[in-house]
Every structure is written in structure tokens, then in C-alpha cells.
Amino acid sequence: MSQYTMTSAPDYIPVKMLREIQNERFMETFRYVYANVQWYRDLLEEHNVSPDSIKSIADISKLPFVKKTDLRDTYPFGMFAAPRNEIVRYHASSGTTGKPIVMGYTRGDLEVWNASVARGLAACGINDTDVLQNAYGYGLFTGGLGLHGGGEKLGCSVVPISGGNTERQLMLMRDFGATVVSCTPSYFLHLIDHAKKIGFDWKETKMRAGFFGAEPWTEEMRRSIEAETGIKAYDIYGLTEISGPGVGCECACQAGVHIFEDNFYPEIVDTETLEPLPDGEIGELVFTTLCKRGTPLIRYRTRDITSIVVEQCACGRTVRRISRISHRSDDMMIIRGVNVFPGQIEASLLAVDPTLIHYQIVLSKNATGLDVIETRVELSAEKFAELADNVAAVEAFKRAIGEKMQRTIGINVKISFVEPNSLPRSEGKLNRVVDNRNK
Ligand code: ADP
Ligand code: ZN
């Protein structure tokens, strides 16, 4: 099959043409939002930006940012640009505190979103012969319907099983001959566990690929998942505010997420000054939607920290890649003045033992009021048996993990071991950090 298919063609647009398309779509979006969203007109006025000063996408940095709190404050429909009868679906972010963020989709918005997810799947070699078991949750969360729509668009046979029901997931996977799975990486870890428990052998299934996203995960976790199951694990990225999963996705090179930038225009800005940064530098990812009509957003701050990759990917796609999301700015832990990301803990743990895929980070204060960071590592049944009653071996293993973490993040991390199957699991996103410092 040629590398160019209907679904992948926009990925290979010559760069010059891509920039022209972005410029046109940006100007159209800007005019449309300005004409239809009172909140946006007020925002520009507040920042003394005259709409006439925006003549091309090169002027984008003159425009103010839109923040997550702005979307909360305008709950539910303050950001809607299309008349309500044109909205054919709502989604909302899974935010656990306060009001959710509500986004509205026109028929055209769903079309763009589905096509983006389909492009991502196709970039990893998925096609209409594949059976996609979609274990992302269905509902207001965008994961389920996002992968569902994209999978159908590509012509896959979609199994809309949603999250949970772990026993059944494995049964259907085998019986329906699923070749592709999609869910959060943490739910897939749960599936791996369960498979082990019931003697389910991945090698006896047709499963060949997984699309994992909606939460951060590491290269080390990718290797663990691939080693454990024999499938290829691909990174898929997105957020409700911009549409959902499929704002970007890896290609078969597994070398960073391609952003479908003819639909979603990315910028990286300095986290302190908010000034735009050149490709290659790390900062906060900011998006402008280029085709959305329900709830278009201009310069939306994602709080996701990454960089745009300078080099073109070996696959030949012209749409740029981002490096793996290292963390969300609000997930960063500050321990005794040192910035620590959960991903660093995960990467160092798995570097020492790639089978220890379950862990939890607990923050507390010691008697003198200093921050203490502890990693609770869940031992696998094999490791548990191997270490049983061997105090010296337990201590040596703890020391090896602790030293690796200390080298990575520069501070001492307390390591403790917990029994197999004792840490919380999740059917969706998993919060691995417990902060007891203010208790
Ligand atoms: P919420 O903000 O409530 O979690 P979403 O479900 O829209 O709502 O989640 C989007 C966020 O999930 C992104 O901004 C990002 O932080 C995270 N995310 C999504 N995909 C990935 C991925 N592949 N890698 C890392 N983080 C991701
Ligand atoms: Zn590529």
C-alpha cells in the first residue's frame, strides 16, 4: 500500500502550502470568533488589541491567551461561537473539582475530529481490516467517542466496550479477534495484570497495537508494555478543549506525536514570560483551533509541558511532532525547592526493573516540617516470592531504586515496597500522587 492514503494525505502537504493553509484558516477563525463571541471581544478590548492589527498568523503573538479558568468562568456556554441548533454534541472535561469545562461540537467539528483520529491510527498502519477494541470510557469524556469515531471513519470494526469490566475485555479481545486496543496506559496496566492472573496469553491473540493517551506515560512504560504483551504501544495526545484525543498521534516510527497542525496550530511559550519559543525549546504547549466552529479557541494554554521537535520525522510527514509530554504544569511537585515530575519517578523505577509497573508517590512532611517524598512500589508476585524473607536482598533492591531516583532528580526518595495487587488501579486516568503535606 502506498504511504499516501486519503486519510494521510494532509500529513504530507509541502510545508509552504501547510503554512498558507494555516494562515488562511487562522484568519477565518479569528474573524469568526471575534464576530460571534462577546467574551472574546471583551478580552481583546481589555488587552488593547485592535482586531484590525491582526493581519496574518504572524500576528498571533499579539493576541492574549485563553486559560482553563476562562472556560470555567464562562460555564456552560459563554465560549460558544455557533448557534446552539448547530451543536450536535457536548463533551466536558473530567475535572474533578469545581465546574466542568463544556465544549460544543458542530457536525463539521465532529468530522474534523474523527478524521484527525483516523489519521493518527492510519499513521501507525491501522486500516479497515483491523478490529479496534475501544476501552476508553464513553460519555462526556472525549476518549471513548473520539477513538470510536476515528476508528469507524478509518473503516475499522470498532468494539465499543468502554472502560471497566476487565474480565470481559480479555474475553472479547480473544473471541472477536481484536487487533488494536485503545485506553489509558494505566488501564492497560490493569488489563496486563488481570491477564497474568487468569493465564491469558497475549501471544495467542491477534492483538498487535495499542493507542494509549489521556494521561502522561513514559518511554520506559512503553517498553514495559511492549515487552509484556508483544504489541506496539503508540502515544495518542489530545484534550477536550481542543476536541479530544487525536489532536496529535505518533506514527509507526514511535518518535514523538505528530500534531495535525492543519487543524490545530501549536505554539510553545516560555512558562514564565509566556513569550513564544522557537522549535526545540521546552515550554507550555498552546493551541489555536483552525477549523472548529462550535467552541473555537485562540491561543489556549494547555498547561502541558513539551517542545516541538526540530527535525523532520523519518516517516516524511511534514506536520511537526512534539516530544513526549513531560508533565502538566499543575502536576509538578516542588520538594524542598526541587521540581519533581511523576514521569521522572516512573522512568527511574522502570529503568531498574521494567516489570514494576505499579507505583504510588506519597508526599508528606517530617517532624521538622521538611517535605518528604516516598515512592511505594508494588512488587509483582514473582518479585515478592523472590525477595521473601531475604531482608538483605530487600534492602539492596530498595537502595538500587533509591539511588537511581536520587541520580535522576537530585533528592533523596524514600522507597517502600507493598504487596502484589495492593495499590489502586484505574479504569480511566490514574492519579498516582498522594499529597499529605497539608494534612
Ligand atoms: P482533564 O484536563 O480533565 O484531564 P482531558 O480528558 O481533556 O481533561 O485531558 C487532557 C489532558 O490529558 C491533556 O491536556 C494532557 O495533560 C493529558 N494527556 C492527554 N493525552 C496525553 C498523552 N498522550 N501524554 C501525556 N498527557 C496526555
Ligand atoms: Zn512520523
Q: Given the C-alpha cell 478490529, which residue does it identify? A: 131
Residues 346-389: tens digit of each pLDDT: 999 999 999 999 999 999 999 999 999 999 999 999 999 999 88
Order of strands across the sheet with 371-378?
414-418, 371-378, 359-365, 433-435
**Ligand 1 in reach of 302 Cβ (< 6 A):** yes
Is residue 306 within 8 A of residue 314, CB to CB? The reply is no
Asked if residue 76 has a cis previous peptide bond (ω within 30° of 0), the answer is yes
Average pLDDT over residues 32-39: 98
Residues 150-168: tens digit of each pLDDT: 999 999 999 999 999 999 9
pLDDT at 147: 98
The closest residue, in CA terms, to atom 25 on ligand 1 is 216
The closest residue, in CA terms, to atom 10 on ligand 1 is 239
Average pLDDT over residues 309-328: 97
Q: Which of 270, 268, 246 is nearest to 258 (CA)?
A: 246
The answer as to CATH 3.40.50.12780 being correct for domain 1-331 is yes
Ligand located closest to 96 CA: 1
pLDDT at 439: 78
**Ligand 1 in reach of 250 Cβ (< 6 A):** no
Q: Given the C-alpha cell 515512592, which residue does it identify? A: 375
Average pLDDT over residues 322-348: 95
Count of residues making up the chain: 439
**Three-class DSSP labels, 380-404:** CHHHHHHHCCCHHHHHHHHHHHHHH
- pLDDT(2) > 70: no
What residues does each domain of the chain span?
1-331, 332-435
**Ligand 1 in reach of 364 Cβ (< 6 A):** no
How many angstroms does the Cα of residue 133 sit away from the middle of ligand 1?
20
Q: Which of 432, 395, 427 is nearest to 141 (CA)?
A: 427
Mapping DSSP to helix (H, G, I), strand (E, B) and coil, where does residue 229 land?
A: helix
Average pLDDT over residues 86-98: 84
Ligand located closest to 315 CA: 2
pLDDT at 24: 98
CA dist list (Å): 278 to 263, 264, 269, 275:
20, 18, 9, 10
pLDDT at 94: 64
How many angstroms does the Cα of residue 421 sit away from the middle of ligand 2?
37
pLDDT at 345: 98
pLDDT at 7: 87
Which set of grid coordinates corresponds to residue 105? 461540537
**Ligand 1 pocket mutation pick from 215, 217, 289, 332 by most atoms within 8 angstroms of CB:** 215
Cα gap 247→203, rounded to integer Å: 31
Burial class (CB in 10 A: 0-12, 13-18, 19+), 286: buried
**Ligand 1 in reach of 216 Cβ (< 6 A):** yes
The closest residue, in CA terms, to atom 11 on ligand 1 is 239
The closest residue, in CA terms, to atom 5 on ligand 1 is 239
**Ligand 1 in reach of 7 Cβ (< 6 A):** no
**Ligand 1 in reach of 211 Cβ (< 6 A):** no
Cα gap 219→201, rounded to integer Å: 24
Q: Which CATH architecture has domain 332-435?
A: 2-Layer Sandwich (3.30)
How many angstroms does the Cα of residue 300 sit away from the middle of ligand 2?
25
Which is the closest atom of ligand 1 to the Cα of 100? 3
Domain 1-331 matches domain 332-435 at the CATH topology level: no
Is residue 182 within 8 A of residue 134, CB to CB? The reply is yes
- Kindly indicate the confidence band of residue 149, based on its pLDDT and cuts at 50, 70 and 90: very high
How many angstroms does the Cα of residue 239 sit away from the middle of ligand 1?
5
| Percent residues over pLDDT 70 in the chain | 98
- pLDDT(97) > 80: no
**Ligand 1 in reach of 147 Cβ (< 6 A):** no
Residues 244-253: tens digit of each pLDDT: 999 999 999 9
Residues 58-81: tens digit of each pLDDT: 999 999 999 999 999 999 999 999
How many angstroms does the Cα of residue 12 sit away from the middle of ligand 2?
10
**Ligand 1 in reach of 235 Cβ (< 6 A):** yes
Ligand located closest to 236 CA: 1
Which is the closest atom of ligand 1 to the Cα of 96? 3
pLDDT at 335: 96
Ligand located closest to 252 CA: 2
pLDDT at 1: 44
Give the β-pairing of 87-92 and 333-335: unpaired
Average pLDDT over residues 127-154: 98
**Ligand 1 pocket mutation pick from 219, 325, 331, 429 by most atoms within 8 angstroms of CB:** 325
Average pLDDT over residues 214-241: 98
Cα gap 401→422, rounded to integer Å: 19
Average pLDDT over residues 413-428: 96
Average pLDDT over residues 236-246: 98
